[in-house]
């Protein structure tokens, strides 16, 4: 068991290091990354160091917790089947969208904000922000994420493939969401898929404005429960066109954007 935990930890640290270094290079050293910054505000060195020192502690902690979860067989995996894999994906997707929204919103109330404060040291995010969590928050996230899938695995087939199929894109979208770079085209939010799924701009607005956009991968809970920023699609489109916001307090006028464009007045 100890060897398994050690192996998972090393693997996890290596994966995080590659992802974060790649994200940092892509966002700050490429022309694409510099041009499409959501906030055209430079991140201070002290923020980077604070985040770096947090993730140096949290990544091994997280990976040991995950490894212990595996060692204790908290999730009872079934043999591979396509139906089980699809079901696993659906359960993880729906459950994570649900608990994350409500718990995240709770974390933004005065009683719980302390738990979430480490992640919100960054108003303009960097790829390092993706793993900047306190031990308490990281533990709560893990327990919540595991709870229902672990319980359901005793009644319905949960496959390892389903976990991988959900987790890998989830990790990639999470890093993208903290890069301060809008990677989708400017028209993306006017498509059906772009209205359903979040973009990097979506979570960038959560960090800069704090009260709103609590959702994980979809915009649905924020739209349903009144925490959606109406000017989001305008900000996304501006950032994707190389014209990101220049101040944290900037809001774009939705009323004007919705006026018919063929007026001669
Ligand atoms: Zn938050
Ligand atoms: Zn974040």
Q: What is the pLDDT of residues 152-194, one digit of tens each?
A: 999 999 999 999 999 989 988 998 999 999 999 999 999 999 9
- The region of weakest confidence among 38-47, 198-207, 209-218 is 38-47
Q: Please enumerate in sequence order all residues whose Cβ is within 8 A of that of 242, keeping only pairs 6 or more positions apart, or say none.
A: 35, 36
Quote the ligand 1 centre to 105 CA distance (angstroms). 7
State the pLDDT at residue 2: 66
State yes or no: pLDDT of 257 exceeds 70.
no
Angle formed at CA 155 by CA 75 and CA 136, multiple of 5 degrees: 35
Distance CA 66, CA 79 (A): 21
- Rounded Cα distance, 36 and 201, in Å: 10
Q: Where are the alpha helices (DSSP H) in the chain?
A: 2-29, 31-35, 45-71, 82-107, 113-116, 135-152, 160-176, 192-196, 200-209, 220-224, 232-240, 254-257
Distance CA 52, CA 67 (A): 23
Summarize the confidence of residues 229-256 as an average pLDDT.
Answer: 92
Ligand 2 geometric centre to CA of 129 (Å): 6
What is the CA(81)–ligand 1 centre distance, in A?
37
Cα 47 to ligand 1 centroid, rounded to whole Å? 17
Q: Which ligand is nearest to the CA of 104?
A: 1
136: its two tokens: 């308490």
- Among the bound ligands, the one closest to the CA of 133: 2
Cα separation, 165 vs 21, whole angstroms: 23
Kindly calculate the radius of gyration of the chain based on its CA atoms and give it in whole angstroms.
Answer: 19
- What's the whole-number average pLDDT of the chain? 89
Going from the Cα of 72 to the center of ligand 2, the distance in angstroms, rounded, reads: 30
Give the pLDDT confidence score for residue 263 in this predicted structure. 40
Tokens matching residue 133: 């969590």
- Cα distance between residue 228 and residue 233, in whole Å: 11
Pick the ligand that lies closest to the CA of residue 51.
Answer: 2
**Cα(189) to centroid of ligand 2, in Å?**
20
Nearest by Cα to 71 from 1, 22, 124? 1
Residues 197-221 have a mean pLDDT of 97
For the CA of 124, the nearest ligand: 2
Distance 66 CA to ligand 1 centre (A): 23
How far, in Å, is the centroid of ligand 1 from the Cα of 64? 24
Instruction: Tell me the mean pLDDT in the region 232-260.
Output: 87
Residue 64 has a pLDDT of 83
**Confidence bin at 256 (pLDDT 50/70/90):** low
63: burial class by Cβ within 10 Å (0-12, 13-18, 19+)? buried
pLDDT (tens digit per residue) in 49-80? 998 899 888 888 888 888 888 888 889 999 99
Q: Which listed ligand is nearest to 130 at the C-alpha?
A: 2
pTM metric for this prediction: 0.88
Query: CA-to-CA distance for 93 and 149, rounded, in angstroms?
Result: 11
């Amino acid at each position: 068991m100890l060897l398994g935990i050690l192996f998972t930890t090393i693997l996890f640290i290596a994966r995080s290091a590659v992802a974060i270094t790649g994200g940092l290079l892509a966002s700050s050293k490429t022309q694409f990354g510099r041009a499409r910054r959501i906030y055209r505000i430079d991140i201070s060195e002290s923020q980077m160091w604070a985040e770096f020192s947090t993730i140096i502690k949290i990544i091994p902690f997280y990976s040991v917790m995950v490894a212990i979860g595996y060692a204790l067989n908290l999730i009872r995996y079934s043999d591979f089947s396509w139906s089980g894999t699809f079901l696993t994906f659906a359960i993880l997707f729906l459950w994570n969208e649900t608990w994350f929204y409500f718990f995240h919103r709770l974390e933004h109330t005065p009683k719980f904000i302390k738990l979430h404060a480490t992640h919100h040291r960054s108003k303009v995010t960097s790829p390092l922000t993706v793993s900047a969590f306190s031990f308490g928050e990281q533990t709560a996230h893990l327990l919540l994420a595991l709870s229902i899938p672990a319980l359901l695995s005793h009644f319905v087939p949960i496959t390892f493939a389903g976990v991988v199929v959900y987790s890998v894109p989830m990790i990639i979208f999470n890093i993208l969401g903290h890069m301060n770079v809008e990677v989708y085209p400017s028209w993306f939010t006017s498509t059906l898929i772009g209205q359903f799924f979040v973009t990097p701009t979506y979570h960038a607005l959560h960090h800069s404005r704090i009260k709103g956009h609590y959702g994980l991968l979809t915009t649905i809970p924020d739209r349903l429960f009144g925490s959606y920023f109406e000017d989001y699609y305008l900000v996304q489109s501006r950032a994707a066109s190389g014209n990101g916001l220049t101040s944290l307090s900037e809001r774009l006028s939705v009323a004007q954007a919705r006026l018919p464009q063929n007026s001669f007045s």
